A and B are shown apart, each in its own frame.
Chain A
Amino acid sequence: MNIFKYFGEVFGAIRSLWAGMRVTGYYSIRPGKVVTQQYPENRKKLVIADRFKGEVIMKHDSNNQHTCNGCGICELNCPNGSIEIISNKITNAEGKSERIIDKHIYHLSMCTFCSLCIKTCPSNSITWGQDFEHAMFDRNKLTKVLNQPGSSIRKEIKEVKETKEA
């Protein structure tokens, strides 16, 4: 073997290794370049994107009213069966029979966060919540009822519709 080629190989190898060591050496003396975050400590300062898909929630206003009329389109569109709608038929003050929502059950454990329920909701009553800390000791706790207890459907929409018809 050519002796110059041999030493050329050795020095070439050392140079290439030094190039890599320069990169790691650069970071090894710069703790300021640390990019990781300290999660439980920085909980208060966490910035969660406002479109973050944490869980499906139902929008309630200050009067504990929502706009869901229990039409069941979200249940139809859900690919995994993670939404169940239980609705009741009641007779309203005018004597007509009307369907109102009893329970909007949401199984977070089965949800694949595909957004189809939210995209197809005709009354725009469900949306994404940004809560992401879903760890539980019991799977049953991941089954949620989205309409809050005692909540009622907001009448405005209906009134608007009625005025239109009139």
Chain B
Amino acid sequence: MDLNIYDFTSFTKWVDTALNSVMSPGWTMLVELVIVGIVFIAAYAVIGLYLVLAERKVCAIIQNRQGPNRVGPFGLFQTIADLFKLLGKELISIKNADQFLFNLAPFILIIASFMAIAALPFAKGLHAIDLNIGIFYMFAVSSLGVIGILLAGWSSNSKYSLIGAIRSGAQVVSYELSVGLALLSVVIFSGSMQLSTIVESQANGWWIIKGHIPALIAFIIFLIAGTAETNRGPFDLAEAESELTAGFHTEYSGIKFAFFFLAEYMNMFIVAAIASTVFLGGWMPFHLGGFESLNHVMDFIPPVIWFFGKTAFVIFIMMWIKWTFPRLRIDQLLKLEWKYLLPLNLMNIVLIAFIVLMGWYIK
């Protein structure tokens, strides 16, 4: 790319050399890690809180309501106020709960989503760690969260929690397959598992456009399976408010509950971010091969805005789905995966492999 005004590589290089000039390489490494960690924690909290607000606003408008509008203009500080409320709440300890696991569970969930967010490319050069198996890493790490859910359900020594946790286990194990296969389709297209390479491969058009119908099918399957993996929308069986009161986090209160809540929304963000990175070009502006003037105009919009805009679009679709559909039953959930999504996905993979082999996608 010839237009480099939004390239963060030079900025990070400059920070690195500046730090190196005043301290030893070991200290530089440490300071950089701390800086990155703090930036990510701040981003995590802000994104998580404002996703909660966004969900409340979107569902309110869908339901002909106004949504939160009391704290701050348009209720912008509502979730921050909620956070302080949750911080001030009593942490109720359950008598016969397994205290160690009970306290550990929310942290596992939080850490899993933290690790996943590290590998996301927010913009060119704004990338904490660019693994050569980035897509595989994110896919693996984000599914660690289910261990937290299972622990929470098991250790709270409550029947509702246990049912919710077991449901979640069955659900995540099944839908992992569809998520993996849907991502595999783009790996076949781009020929790489490195997220930066996948994004670069979409410089002349996003995969959802270049890969036409098979990529669209893979995108839809990824959305469905990703929604299921984050226990959201019509697949929120682990919580199932009308059946299990609150499922796995029935017994949690205060900030531990807030961790579950935050992790749920961050998982949604991660799924949306993966979808936008892999199918919608990540931070890559909207480019079409052959339309140079259009591509040039699109380059003026910063990549960070492209990335968050696409992610927000996918998140909106996920919210739209959640606030429209009734919940599936557990056997229907598994039937949907094993009888519909998985066979369709496998057919789709074969089709994509054939298309790539013949070179029938838009190059």
A and B directly contacting (CB within 8 A):
yes
Count, chain A residues at interface, CB 8 A: 16
Of the stretches A16-24, A76-84, A121-129, A144-152, the one at the interface is: A16-24
Q: A27 interface residue, CB < 8 Å from B?
A: yes
B279 to chain A, nearest CB (A): 18
Q: B361 interface residue, CB < 8 Å from A?
A: no
B151 to chain A, nearest CB (A): 34
Contact B64 A36 (CB under 8 A): yes
Contact B64 A24 (CB under 8 A): no
Interface flags, A84-104, vs B, CB<8A=1, else 0:
000000000000000000000
State A33–B63 Cα separation when bound (angstroms): 9
Of the stretches B116-124, B194-202, B240-248, B319-327, the one at the interface is: B319-327
Q: B10 interface residue, CB < 8 Å from A?
A: no
Residues of B within 8 Å of A35, CB to CB, are 64-65
State A79–B202 Cα separation when bound (angstroms): 77
Count, chain B residues at interface, CB 8 A: 15
Instruction: Spell out B's residues near A (CB within 8 Å).
Output: 58, 61-66, 69, 320-321, 323-325, 340, 344
A118 to chain B, nearest CB (A): 36
B320 in complex: contacting residue of A10, A25, A36, A38, CB < 8 Å: A25
Contact A24 B66 (CB under 8 A): no
Interface flags, A4-23, vs B, CB<8A=1, else 0:
00000010000001001101
Instruction: Spell out A's residues near B (CB within 8 Å).
Output: 10, 17, 20-21, 23-25, 27-28, 30-31, 33-36, 38
Contact B325 A20 (CB under 8 A): yes
Contact A24/B323 with A31-B61, A34-B61, A36-B64 known, Cβ cut-off 8 Å: yes
Can you pick out 5 interface pairs between chain A and chain B where the beta carbons lie within 8 Å of each other? Answer: A21-B321, A24-B320, A31-B61, A34-B66, A36-B64
Interface centre among A10, A28, A36 (most CB of B within 10 A): A28
Chain B, residue nearest A30 (CB): B61
Contact A27 B64 (CB under 8 A): yes
Contact A28 B62 (CB under 8 A): yes
Contact A36 B62 (CB under 8 A): no
Contact A36 B324 (CB under 8 A): no
Contact B62 A24 (CB under 8 A): yes
Contact B66 A21 (CB under 8 A): no
Chain A, residue nearest B234 (CB): A17
State A25–B65 Cα separation when bound (angstroms): 14
Residues of B within 8 Å of A30, CB to CB, are 61
Chain A, residue nearest B316 (CB): A28
A21 in complex: contacting residue of B58, B64, B324, B344, CB < 8 Å: B324
Residues of B within 8 Å of A17, CB to CB, are 324-325
State A34–B244 Cα separation when bound (angstroms): 31
Residues of B within 8 Å of A20, CB to CB, are 324-325
